[in-house]
Structure 1
Amino acid sequence: MKKIKNVIKKMSLTQQLSFMVVSIFVFLVVFFFGFLTLNIDSFVESQIFNITRDSQDTVIQNYLLGRTGTSLFGSSASNIVHVIYEDDGLPLISTNVPLEYSFPGITKIIEDKLEVVTPDMRLNMRFEKNSLISMKGINQSTTIVSIMPIEYHNQFRSALINSFVYMIVLVIGIVFVLLLFWVATIIHSLGLIQEFIEKSKNNQEAELKLDRGDEIGQLANVLVEMQDELHYQQKQKEEMLQNISHDLKTPVATIKSYSEAIKDGIYPYETLEKSVDVIIEHADRLEKKVFNLLMLNRMDYMTHEKISSNTEVDLEPIVQQVIVSTKQIRPDIEINFETKGSMFFGEEEPWRVVVENLLDNALRYSKTRVDIHLDDHQFSIYNDGERVPKKKLKSFFKAYEMGDKGQFGLGLAIVSRVVTNYNYKVSATNKKYGIEFKIERKEA
């Protein structure tokens, strides 16, 4: 069975379709000859007895109306022989050929059964292998016997089998054509998707339009959306790299020029102490940028590695330390901190970066206050700054996506990577006055 599955997997769609149609055809043939043929004889015999009964009832009606001669048997089926037996007369027969000549030995069988047939019963039986007999009592003294030659039985059986075979072939033919057309549309659509992917892989201009509402159409739409997203990400990345190059170049150039000036005994910023402070400030700025890039790269690496989620860290002291060190950015902003629990899975340093980035972001956009709420495996930070369009909320955590007051477009991306790696989720929600970022455990 496994070998058959492997063979089918290697087939093209057209080959799979042909294999499926042939399999169905073989199944139907086996079913027909293995099951139906066992029951078709009884079915055909039952149908013939029904035909005989109808013809027999017509003759009985004519007899009761007093008709004789051709009027008595004229409307009956030509291949059915009717014989009417009366107690006080010779049998009336629908053919000129003697009964014993056509069906040798049948007279004795009929005479033996005449005594048991009553007007309320109909007796059906097979005579040897050459005829079917149906006997019905007309009244107490009269009985009709109808005989159907076995040739008609065989003709009916052959016609039924041929009709069934023709029907199977016709249905399978129609189904095959429809499936072939259906597979052709699928192959064409998959060919367009493959061409689109190849062009996208080679950075060529690619367009994909499939007028389909099924799963293939949905796949095509997802691929187009993915390509648009990749192009957008690439553009954002290029812009980010340009910005980073510029931002790295500026502090490096400042540090170099100030250092050379001090070496030559010149103080660019009034005094030696102030000039050194400028160098330290730019060095700190440079260090932060490099740290963010390294942290993002580290989180990307951790995404593809197995991370232990058994280690727990207490976030309360981390948040308090970050508040103290970050408050100087906006000393005019009121920071409220409330805690009910503080345990999170993960390592201390990545969570410190998360809290720093979220608080730094909140302080940058806040008008008057920042509210921080901490509980076990739940952390939220609210600022009363401007609300953000819903479309923008979804792109907050993408790498290289910068806000109006953003720096590198990496802070919230790092937040997203860290919480995801530790099996948490982060979201941004507009409130009535401001915006809230929330971290919580993913549902199992």
Structure 2
Amino acid sequence: MNKILAKIKNKPLSFQIWLITGAVLTIALLLYSLSLPFILRSIIISEKHDRLEETQAFIIEEGHFDDLNQGEAPEGFSFPKNESNNDGPPIKFSRVPRHFIINQDGEITDNDNLNIAEKIKEDIFRSENPASRSELKIDSNEVIYYVFQELDAAGEEKYIVSYLRSRYSDSLFSEFFIRLIISLLVFLFLAWLISIFVARYLTKSLQVIKMQVKKIANREWDQPLEIDRKDEIGELANTIEWLRQQLVERDEKQQEFIQQISHEIKTPIMVLRSYVQSMQDGIYPRGDLQGSLEAMEAESYKMEKRVKTLIDISKMDYLSRQNLKLEAVNIDKLLEKKLEKLSWRRRDVSWSLISDNMKLKADKEKLEVIVENIIDNQFKYAAEKIKISSKKIKKEGKPIIQLRFWNDGIEIDSSELKKIFDKFKKGDDGEYGLGLAISKVLVELHGGEIWAANEDGGAAFYINFCEEL
């Protein structure tokens, strides 16, 4: 079975849809065709008994006991002879209800077919707990359906019996079953044809999506993916279109970044070369040797910063693919350690830490990078104060450890709140501050989230970590 399923999974989706639809319809129709004749037969038999009981109730209510079977055929009409039906009316009149009475001595009165009546009487008396409605099989082609009830006849025990003769019932149901199967086969064939068109309709959009994904893989992402659907296929198309837009935006930013950083590296190199050539010719661009060397050192420092930026971007991509080495880390001690380490940068800034002495299951080395980058950013932009806190909260019923970093510096422009963690984001000082971008990568690697907000007249950064990874 597993081998068959594996082979089916390797087939085109349109074939799978066609095959599954056909299999489901076949099973459903087969069960329906097998059960329907029995259900229909039960309904017909129940209807026969209902008709007999209604007729019998009418006879009792109107008191027509003198001639129970009168009026069954038109007056003056004589049934034609039929060799296969010498006792009782012909087959074509067998669906007419017949009645008879069984008195307290077991004698049958008012019946034109004593042979059938005797068999019914024996069947009633033979049963230990006779039902008020039953059936009696005479032979392979005839069944008698009958109902009976006791009559209140002034102390005399009597029964009135009503019955119907049903001939050729098996052939009727056989014919019905054959016609049902034929109609179901026609329906199944039409359903399979429809399923082919449905499969092609569904897979047409998937083919378009497949071609678009191939183009994206080849960096041909200028053409948008447009599929006018609101179902799961439409959602998939919208997701791929969102991915395309993100790749286009990232590619544009990356190209812009490479051009800018290349220019910024090229400029100090040209300056250094010109200084070296001038000094080889005995000319000092800054008046003397010391001044020229200091200028060259400044240019090399600029070039070093640009190269470090490139290294940090490569490092960020590397870190995003690393596995975590999880261990229990005391987050409060880590925060305090980094605050004391970085506070030398701004002796004029005071800081406070409010925590509950909590431990977080994380990669200690990467968590240190996250905390250090965020705290470094706080000291860079704070005016006089930095407040850091850690606490446990509930989010969607799950325990979360939340870190909050706040400083009283200038608020972040609302349009920049979501872009501030972009690795190609250039700061107001013209530098590419990759610390926040690296922190975002590492937080998401831990399954957490990070965001910025303007609060209490300053800027705040929030980090949420799942308590258990």
The equivalent residue for 2:80 is none
Query: Which runs of structure 2 are paired with 1:96-107 in the superposition (5 Å)?
Result: 99=113, 105-107=115-117
Q: Does 1:392 align with 2:416?
A: yes
Q: Distance in 2 between matches of 1:316 and 1:84?
A: 106
8 Å CA contact 2:454, 2:460 repeated in 1: yes
Q: Distance in 1 between matches of 2:101 and 2:296?
A: 133
Q: Which moved more, 1:20-29 or 1:4-13?
A: 20-29
The equivalent residue for 2:426 is 402
Alignment TM-score, normalising by the size of structure 1: 0.76
The equivalent residue for 2:85 is none
CA displacement 1:11-61 (0-9 Å, x = unmatched): 223322232233224434654577677787666544443344445555666
Q: Does 1:195 align with 2:219?
A: no
| Amino acid paired to 2:146 | S
Partner SS, residue 71 of structure 2: helix
Q: Which moved more, 1:195-204 or 1:185-194?
A: 195-204
Unmatched 5+ stretches in structure 2: 76-88, 392-400
Q: Distance in 1 between matches of 2:284 and 2:370?
A: 36
The equivalent residue for 2:136 is 126
Counting aligned pairs with the same residue, the percent is: 19
The equivalent residue for 2:440 is 416
Q: Does 1:382 align with 2:407?
A: yes
Q: Does 1:336 align with 2:378?
A: no
The equivalent residue for 1:80 is 95
Identify if the C-alpha distance between structure 1 residues 73 and 243 changes in structure 2 by more than 3 Å, giving closer, same or farther: same
The equivalent residue for 2:317 is 300
What's the offset of the Cα at 1:347? 6.1
Partner SS, residue 327 of structure 2: coil
8 Å CA contact 1:387, 1:431 repeated in 2: no
Q: Distance in 2 between matches of 1:437 and 1:244?
A: 28
What's the offset of the Cα at 1:340? 5.2
Q: Distance in 2 between matches of 1:374 and 1:111?
A: 96
Q: Distance in 2 between matches of 1:349 and 1:11?
A: 45
8 Å CA contact 2:33, 2:181 repeated in 1: no
Identify if the C-alpha distance between structure 1 residues 413 and 91 changes in structure 2 by more than 3 Å, giving closer, same or farther: same
Alignment TM-score, normalising by the size of structure 2: 0.73
Q: Distance in 1 between matches of 2:118 and 2:373?
A: 113
Q: Distance in 1 between matches of 2:443 and 2:409?
A: 24
CA displacement 1:97-156 (0-9 Å, x = unmatched): xx37xxxx5354246468899xx98453314322214153584467344231332x3355
The equivalent residue for 2:376 is 359
| Amino acid paired to 2:71 | S
Identify if the C-alpha distance between structure 1 residues 133 and 223 changes in structure 2 by more than 3 Å, giving closer, same or farther: closer
Q: Does 1:18 align with 2:18?
A: yes
Q: Distance in 2 between matches of 1:107 and 1:404?
A: 110
Q: Distance in 1 between matches of 2:133 and 2:411?
A: 97
Candidates 88, 91, 94, aligned match of 2:110? 91
The equivalent residue for 2:71 is 71
8 Å CA contact 1:121, 1:137 repeated in 2: no
What's the offset of the Cα at 1:78? 3.5
8 Å CA contact 1:370, 1:383 repeated in 2: yes
8 Å CA contact 1:83, 1:145 repeated in 2: yes
8 Å CA contact 1:59, 1:73 repeated in 2: no
Q: Give RMSD over aligned pairs.
A: 4.3
Partner SS, residue 430 of structure 1: strand
8 Å CA contact 2:52, 2:146 repeated in 1: yes
What's the offset of the Cα at 1:243? 0.7
The equivalent residue for 2:295 is 278
8 Å CA contact 1:322, 1:356 repeated in 2: no
| Amino acid paired to 2:18 | S
Q: Distance in 1 between matches of 2:171 and 2:19?
A: 35
Greater share of residues in helix: 1
Q: Does 1:437 align with 2:461?
A: yes
8 Å CA contact 2:33, 2:180 repeated in 1: no
| Amino acid paired to 1:134 | Y
Q: Distance in 2 between matches of 1:347 and 1:298?
A: 17
Identify if the C-alpha distance between structure 1 residues 83 and 46 changes in structure 2 by more than 3 Å, giving closer, same or farther: same
What's the offset of the Cα at 1:227? 0.9
Q: Distance in 2 between matches of 1:248 and 1:321?
A: 32
Aligned residues: 423
Candidates 371, 388, 393, aligned match of 1:373? 388
CA displacement 1:285-309 (0-9 Å, x = unmatched): 2222222321221231232232323
Query: Which runs of structure 2 are paired with 1:106-121 in the superposition (5 Å)?
Result: 106-110=116-120, 112=122
Identify if the C-alpha distance between structure 1 residues 399 and 135 changes in structure 2 by more than 3 Å, giving closer, same or farther: closer
